[in-house]
Structure 1
Amino acid sequence: MTRLHPLSFLLGFLLVFSAKAQKINDAYRLSIQKASSEIIIDGVLDEQAWLDAEVATDFFMITPMDTSFAQVKTDVRMTYDDQNLYLIVVNHHAVDGPYMVESLRRDFSFGKNDNFLLFMDPFDDQTNGFSFGANAAGAQWDGIMYNGGSVDLSWDNKWTSKVRNYEDKWIFEAAIPFKSIRYKKGITEWGVNFSRLDLKTTEKSGWAPVPRQFPSASLAYTGILVWDNPPPDPGANISVIPYLLGGVSKDFENNGETSYRREIGMDAKISLTSSLNLDLTVNPDFSQVEVDRQVTNLDRFELFFPERRQFFLENGDLFANFGYSTIRPFFSRRIGLNAPIQFGARLSGKINKDWRIGAMNMQTGEVSEEGLPSQNFTVMALQRQVGARSNITGIFINKQSLNYNPDPDSEAPVYSQFNRNVGLEYNLASSNNLWTGKAMLLQSFGPDNLANGFVHAANLKYASGNLTWNWQHELVSENYTAEVGYVPRRGYTKINPTIGYRWFPVSEKILSHGPDIGVTYFFNKEGVKTDNTTYVAYSIKWRSQSTFLLWTAYDFIKLQRPFDPTNFSGETLPAGTDHSWTALGAEYTSKPQSLFTYSFTTRLGGYYADGKRYNFTTDLGYRFQPYVSLALSTNFNRINLPEPWGNTDFWLVGPRLDVTMTNTLFFTAFVQYNEQIKNINLNTRFQWRFKPASDLFIVYTDNYLPAPFYTKNRSIVLKFTYWWNI
């Protein structure tokens, strides 16, 4: 009798589910016709085109309950002309009083603002799309959608909007150029949904109904936007985005020399079709990108910080979402990390309804003082849709050192000649989104077979209104290498089942409550258990949107290599030693409607070497809406260990000031004091968006040594960018 391989069984199981995928809310249809008059973006519903447009109304409540119509009334109209897609929304008030927003800052936090959002699926694949919206003060929101309901807000594009407030409502009006989005030419039905969050009533609603366990962005639950004619061809769609930069910096810590920057560069976007785009970049600079939020690192492995650079974002899910959070064969922040990017090109988008493609090539320069050679990075992905919402993706990644002949007697670090990865991944998403999962295989290649290794991982998740469970396993060989990826751990097998349940009581106070249980096991290549975490948690969510979580966990670790449990002292625990402990903690987040908001987390319990660790974090915020937002983040760790470590305290403090003078004029000041790395960082950024997607930035950065206090380095950069449509 022939045995069925477990992976074959899992793939067959997933294929059965994907084959059943169907459109759910196809009965919710909004007709859109060409504008019968000129549209002026002023937040006033007075043009004849709006009076002639069909109205989407009678929204459904998503939270706190998903079994009735919304209490807050929202009316949406859409129309278009040869250049733009237009949207106007009348957001009626259900309760007297002012709106609630954080600020006029772009890409605001969804849960802390009265807002309206549009979710578009212009490919009608229930997987990829675009989101646009605004809060009640007029701050814009835009992002690319991927993975069936996730939104990447780092993506910005060229569009205009206006919000006008009245005593009984606020009106949001927008014009979205067809040149700013990608869509399938000739298609006359787009997936679309509208989301409204009203914090005074704590009600989230959508035009097409969405079960409360899913975000309102879920493309599986979109209705249909029915065009009277196919959307117009945007025609020649070429955007050139040059920049000019000047800067000065001084390194006080080393030699005190002053250096100057005078740079020019350019990005270009060329639409080959209405759904396929070519991006080019020459000498790019990302100095205006917001600094990473620092963390106290007590982990044995490398930390992850997300990509924020514009060039890598559109259709970036084709590359960046391959794998899992700790198994990423491609991580774009590896490119240009220690060397300047000289030029690059990226082709991405839809070939047709069933096929997506992504291909990128980047070239970095040589850094001779560090012995870092010039390198070329290539990544290619091809994705085939299976059923309505599932897909199969193949990926190829190559990192190549150019003209590199290292001296074996030199003390400089030696870089590999090349590293390659080839992979295949199946992504499951059932039509109703109750079942999701993936199964993947990866193989790496390197010089002399030293980096030849493989990965297999898979998961299957079920999420109903009450019950959620997930099974995940991973197998990463010891020689697997992804130099352009994020794989902090190798040579292990991982098993991780989790289960959770939620009750939704008939209560005026509590929205939901219930437990979560999870177990994680790691085994080395000999099958010996090296890690185990078992946790139990209980969470409560109030109708006011405040939340509370109580948890306890047991940890066991057999160290595979020496490790400093403070990541600071330099003293290490030996490899092969066993460590186990229990801990408990709590988390609380206050309701977002208040001008003063706060949250805290706490943890106390055991630690390595029979030690103790205490942790307490707070996030405090106060807003003078809509112009000023103040925030203070603190993180305190106390580690009590036997000698030679003794007692160690770490503070991480980060006050932040956001001033949004208008929705085009912003100032941010951010200070981070990190005791673990003995650094105080000051970063200030002024941004003037003088035209859509065109900016002037002034960025000032200081780094200080806390004690004795002195300046390590200082820099100021002036950058001008302009988005020019040809």
Structure 2
Amino acid sequence: MRTLFLFMLIFLGTYAFLPAQKINADYRLHIHRAISPIVVDGVMDEEAWEKAEIATDFFMITPMDTSFSKVKTDVRMSYDDHHLYLLVVNYHAVEGPYMVESLRRDFSFGKNDNFLLFMDPFDDLTNGFSFGANAAGAQWDGQMYNGGAVDLSWDNKWVSKVKNYEDKWIFEAAIPFKSIRYKKGITEWGINFSRLDLKTTEKSGWAPVPRQFPSASLAYTGTLVWDSPPPDPGANISVIPYVLGGVSRDFDQEGENVYRREVGMDAKISLTSSLNLDLTVNPDFSQVEVDRQVTNLDRFELFFPERRQFFLENGDLFASFGYSTIRPFFSRRIGLEAPIQFGARLSGKINKDWRIGAMNMQTGAVSETALPAQNFTVMALQRQVGARSNFGVLLVNKQSLNYQPDPNTEQPTYSQFNRNVALEYNLASANNLWTGKVMGIKSFGPNGAGNGVSHAANLKYAGGNLTWNWQHEYVSENFTAEVGFVPRRGFVKIAPQVGYRWFPKSAKILSHGPDGSLTLFFNTQGVYTDNASFLSYTIRFRSQSNFSTFLTYDFVKLQAPFDPTNSGREKLPVGSEHYAMGWRTEYTSKPQSVFTYGFSTRVGGYYANGNLYTFTGDLGYRFQPYVSLALSSTFNQIHLPEPWGQTDFWLVGPRIDVTLTNTVFFTTFLQYNEQIKNINLNSRFQWRFAPASDLFIVYMDNYLPDPFHVKNRSVVLKFTYWWNV
């Protein structure tokens, strides 16, 4: 492995310092200052639009990437002292109504006729912003990172309008310069446009993108050429106060009503046009949607994504370090078990090559669990090299304040501090065919406790037909990341993968082909402990439906006792060995139907020579664009020898989304989880009465299913307003 690692370092290092290359440099759209006022109404009647240059003749991305699009799209852009303007004429290719899921913001890309703008204001092929809308007018906005990923949790102030005509739909938008980040004085931005038309199942882009990559790939952007540098947005200070009232009650503990009367504030201060300071005092996240529950049959902690707005802008600077199960920083470790009192975060670009991030958060003490007040500091620095690659360093420090635990106490005790220092190199070749990562982390704790190391690397190739990836990981037994997500320690992992796709000239099949993966674990003494392998075959239809089938093999030599039902029952002993063969199938229907469905099944062996049968089904129906109904259910049946016997777990989650307009939303979500014996009801009303300003009403219940009774209940009214100073 050491020889292979050295080879990868040499290979990646060769790519690191290749000169930057712009693949679609010949695709240039010139933008000029508006010669007349522009009203955002979905009507192209201003003189400024008549004189604007047009981006047209889009290239098809799917189902084929070798011809012009059959669906015509025209894009115009302009600007004034305060706004960047966009007008898009989306012509119909065939007769029939548009297809959308709802009017909800940040819609699912594949389930809506939509247009998206991807822009790279530094022209560094790595970071940027995305704005767009579906054919009914629902907005989409997100922050772009890692060369093409879009974080849709990012929200900002902008306005748009969609107007439908017999032969087209027009999308018009005004994006304030204060809502985005860009380098002062730069006159060329990376830019691309994406159009998805579900009636023809055609995805297209202005600058051509190979079909194996998403249309958001910044490696394939064209260039937006300004007639003069974009205006300086000037002083850019936003204050976002909130007022909250609520009541809750714990019926299990026969508690009384507990009333909440709170105020707090966020502030955004643009130190430069590309560097932002975020401040928060007494933040509240009660309006954030609850986590989707799962039936947990895994031996390790499960990952749930961050949903809180304060942690999201430029969040990749902190959260993308490492791999999915080796993260030195995971923001959900802050503030979920203790109140956040205040915090500050500096993030953004210093220049085209350097990004910086610094965060400091202070939480209060919790007397019930003896948790002390704690301070969290995270610092990140990233340097772009070559075409699209970068080096990064991350420092994470968690410090307990004024904490002297009693060694004889029966209450939980906590560490005085925990620190992680991480170094990372990310490879992204100019054409996106080669990507990879090499990283190392060192952890530190008091008196040497928690001092450990972690290392991982991967190299991936994604050509037109062939995809392969090599990945290996190492985490020492005493590695500790208390502000990270590292559910497993003391292992070496080797995980090669390979896949191949054929793209036939077929009227029904878009692509098909096999995939294979081998994942091996060893403990730090070199003992073989796990094998999770599969062979699969996937068919993607031109209708956008998908079918996959898998043959799986699993081996586990337990390194710790484990209850195979994960419900607090008898545990299997350390050192016991378990083998299982299984068969899985997955199918999702075409997204353009008002009735959609999908299912997955798993049949095969389980721990202790038992068997596991799993069925997951998803149903959806929409009365577009106002009402969307969904039902997700999972049934697990486990057959084991005594003392477990047969165990059945249901997980059922019906959901209703009502979008009266693109600013008024109502969602009710019910979850029944038999494994943890809980029914959760979450209802949320949101009125976006002004850009990025909201009124929320959130109602939540938790019930015990048998005997049925209320465990706890709460209702919250929250008002937020985005005020530009």
Partner of 2:17: 19
1:515 matched to 2:536: no
Aligned partner of residue 14 in structure 2, secondary structure? helix
Partner of 1:165: 164
Residue type matched to 1:147 in 2? N
Partner of 1:588: 587
> 1:5: Cα distance to partner?
5.8
Checking the alignment, whether the CA contact within 8 Å between 1:18 and 1:431 is kept in structure 2 is no
Partner of 1:81: 80
- Could you tell me how far apart the structure 1 residues matched to 2:529 and 2:120 are? 45
Aligned partner of residue 648 in structure 1, secondary structure? strand
> 1:51: Cα distance to partner?
0.6
> 1:450: Cα distance to partner?
1.4
Checking the alignment, whether the CA contact within 8 Å between 2:103 and 2:137 is kept in structure 1 is yes
Checking the alignment, whether the CA contact within 8 Å between 2:15 and 2:386 is kept in structure 1 is no
1:33 matched to 2:2: no
Partner of 1:45: 44
- Could you tell me how far apart the structure 1 residues matched to 2:433 and 2:670 are? 43
Aligned partner of residue 496 in structure 2, secondary structure? strand
Q: Which aligned pairs between 1:639-658 and structure 2 lie closer than 5 A?
A: 639-658=638-657
Aligned partner of residue 660 in structure 2, secondary structure? strand
> 1:440: Cα distance to partner?
0.3
Partner of 1:558: 557
Partner of 1:685: 684
Identical-pair percentage:
78
- Could you tell me how far apart the structure 2 residues matched to 1:574 and 1:337 are? 33
Partner of 1:208: 207
> 1:4: Cα distance to partner?
8.7
Checking the alignment, whether the CA contact within 8 Å between 1:569 and 1:645 is kept in structure 2 is no
Checking the alignment, whether the CA contact within 8 Å between 2:443 and 2:451 is kept in structure 1 is yes
Q: Give a deviation string over 1:82-114, Cα, whole Å, max 9, x none.
A: 000000000000010000000000000000000
Partner of 1:187: 186
> 1:6: Cα distance to partner?
4.7
> 1:423: Cα distance to partner?
0.9
Q: Which aligned pairs between 1:48-127 and structure 2 lie closer than 5 A?
A: 48-127=47-126
Checking the alignment, whether the CA contact within 8 Å between 2:521 and 2:528 is kept in structure 1 is yes
> 1:255: Cα distance to partner?
2.2
- Could you tell me how far apart the structure 1 residues matched to 2:11 and 2:386 are? 14
Residue type matched to 2:580 in 1? W
Residue type matched to 2:244 in 1? L
Checking the alignment, whether the CA contact within 8 Å between 1:398 and 1:421 is kept in structure 2 is yes
> 1:631: Cα distance to partner?
0.1
Partner of 1:329: 328
Residue type matched to 1:659 in 2? V
> 1:569: Cα distance to partner?
3.9
> 1:7: Cα distance to partner?
3.8
Aligned partner of residue 209 in structure 1, secondary structure? coil
Q: Which aligned pairs between 1:121-270 and structure 2 lie closer than 5 A?
A: 121-270=120-269
Which TM-score applies when normalising by structure 1?
0.99
- Could you tell me how far apart the structure 2 residues matched to 1:10 and 1:67 are? 33
Partner of 1:420: 419
Partner of 1:410: 409
Q: Give a deviation string over 1:46-72, Cα, whole Å, max 9, x none.
A: 100011100000000000000000000
- Could you tell me how far apart the structure 1 residues matched to 2:256 and 2:601 are? 44
Partner of 1:370: 369
Residue type matched to 1:620 in 2? L
Q: Which aligned pairs between 1:379-418 and structure 2 lie closer than 5 A?
A: 379-418=378-417
> 1:388: Cα distance to partner?
2.0
Residue type matched to 1:649 in 2? D
Q: Which aligned pairs between 1:475-490 and structure 2 lie closer than 5 A?
A: 475-490=474-489
Residue type matched to 2:7 in 1? F
- Could you tell me how far apart the structure 2 residues matched to 1:604 and 1:240 are? 54
Checking the alignment, whether the CA contact within 8 Å between 1:679 and 1:704 is kept in structure 2 is yes
- Could you tell me how far apart the structure 2 residues matched to 1:34 and 1:525 are? 63
- Could you tell me how far apart the structure 2 residues matched to 1:151 and 1:273 are? 23
Checking the alignment, whether the CA contact within 8 Å between 2:679 and 2:704 is kept in structure 1 is yes
* Aligned pair partner of 1:10 in 5, 8, 11: 8
Partner of 1:707: 706
Q: CA RMSD in A?
A: 0.9
Please list every run of 5 or more consecutive structure 1 residues that lacks an aligned counterpart in the other structure.
none
Aligned partner of residue 662 in structure 1, secondary structure? coil
> 1:256: Cα distance to partner?
2.6
Aligned partner of residue 495 in structure 2, secondary structure? strand
Aligned partner of residue 41 in structure 1, secondary structure? coil
Q: Give a deviation string over 1:140-192, Cα, whole Å, max 9, x none.
A: 00000011000010110000000000010000000000000000111100000
Checking the alignment, whether the CA contact within 8 Å between 1:618 and 1:635 is kept in structure 2 is yes
Task: Return 565-574 or 493-502, whichever deviates more.
Answer: 565-574
Aligned partner of residue 634 in structure 1, secondary structure? strand
- Could you tell me how far apart the structure 2 residues matched to 1:704 and 1:472 are? 43
Partner of 2:577: 578
> 1:501: Cα distance to partner?
0.1
Q: Give a deviation string over 1:237-261, Cα, whole Å, max 9, x none.
A: 0000000000000100112311000
Q: Per the alignment, do residues 452 and 4 of structure 1 end up closer, same or farther by CA in structure 2, a change over 3 Å counting?
A: closer
Which TM-score applies when normalising by structure 2?
0.99
- Could you tell me how far apart the structure 2 residues matched to 1:569 and 1:701 are? 27
Please list every run of 5 or more consecutive structure 2 residues that lacks an aligned counterpart in the other structure.
none
Aligned partner of residue 13 in structure 1, secondary structure? helix
Partner of 1:496: 495
Aligned residues: 724
- Could you tell me how far apart the structure 1 residues matched to 2:437 and 2:24 are? 25
> 1:368: Cα distance to partner?
1.1
Aligned partner of residue 134 in structure 1, secondary structure? strand
Q: Which aligned pairs between 1:417-496 and structure 2 lie closer than 5 A?
A: 417-496=416-495
> 1:10: Cα distance to partner?
1.9
> 1:11: Cα distance to partner?
2.0
- Could you tell me how far apart the structure 2 residues matched to 1:422 and 1:284 are? 28
- Could you tell me how far apart the structure 2 residues matched to 1:714 and 1:417 are? 35
> 1:230: Cα distance to partner?
0.4
Checking the alignment, whether the CA contact within 8 Å between 1:196 and 1:204 is kept in structure 2 is yes
Aligned partner of residue 49 in structure 1, secondary structure? helix
Checking the alignment, whether the CA contact within 8 Å between 2:238 and 2:268 is kept in structure 1 is yes
Partner of 1:548: 547
- Could you tell me how far apart the structure 1 residues matched to 2:123 and 2:444 are? 37
